[in-house]
Amino acid sequence: MIHPRSLAAPRSRLLLLALLAAVVAVLGVAQVPSPARAASLTAVSGFGSNPGNLSMYSYRPDGLPSNAPLVVAMHGCTQNATDYFGHSGWQKYADLWRFALVLPEQKSGNNAQSCFNWFLPGDTSRGQGEALSVKQMVDYAVANYGVDRSRVYVTGLSAGGAMTGVMLATYPDVFAGGAVMSGIAYGCGTDTVSGVLCMSQNKGYTAQKWGDLVRAAYPGYSGPRPRVAVWQGTSDTTVYPFNADQLRDQWTKVLGVPQTPTSTSSLPGGTTLKEYADGTGTAAVKVYTISGMAHGLPVSPGSATDQCGSTGQYYISTICSSYYVATTWGLNGGGTQPPPALPAPAGLIVTGTTASSASLSWDAVSGASGYNVYRNGAKVTASPVGGTTYTDSGLASGTTYTYAVSAVTSSGAEGAWSATVTATTTGGGPCVTASNYAHTVAGRAYASLGYTYALGSNQAMGLWNVMVTHTLRQTGTNYWVIADGQC
Cite the active site residues.
158
Output the 3-class SS for the chain. CCCHHHHCCCHHHHHHHHHHHHHHHHHCCCCCCCCCCCCCCEEECCCCCCCCCCEEEEECCCCCCCCCCEEEEECCCCCCHHHHHHHCCHHHHHHHHCCEEEEEECCCCCCCCCCCCCCCHHHHCCCCHHHHHHHHHHHHHHHHHCCCCCCEEEEEECHHHHHHHHHHHHCCCCCCEEEEECCCCCCCCCCHHHHHHHHHCCCCCCHHHHHHHHHCCCCCCCCCCCEEEEEEECCCCCCCCHHHHHHHHHHHHHHCCCCCCCEEEEECCCEEEEEEECCCCCEEEEEEEECCCCCCEEEECCCCCCCECCCECCEEECCCHHHHHHHHCCCCCCCCCCCCCCCCCCCCEEEEECCCCEEEECCCCCCCCEEEEEECCEECCCCCECCCEEEECCCCCCCEEEEEEEEECCCCCEEEECCCEEEECCCCCCEEEEEHHHHHHHCCEEEECCEEEECECCCEEEECCCCCEEEEEEEECCEEEECCCCC
Give the residue from 228, 288, 217 showing the smallest Cα distance to 257.
Answer: 228
Interacting residues of 156 by C-beta distance below 8 A, sequence separation 6+? 73, 74, 75, 76, 116, 162, 163, 164, 180, 181, 183
Beta strands 177-181 and 414-417 are unpaired
The CA distance from 336 to 286, in Å, is 14
Which residue, 406, 147, 118, is CA-closest to 272? 406
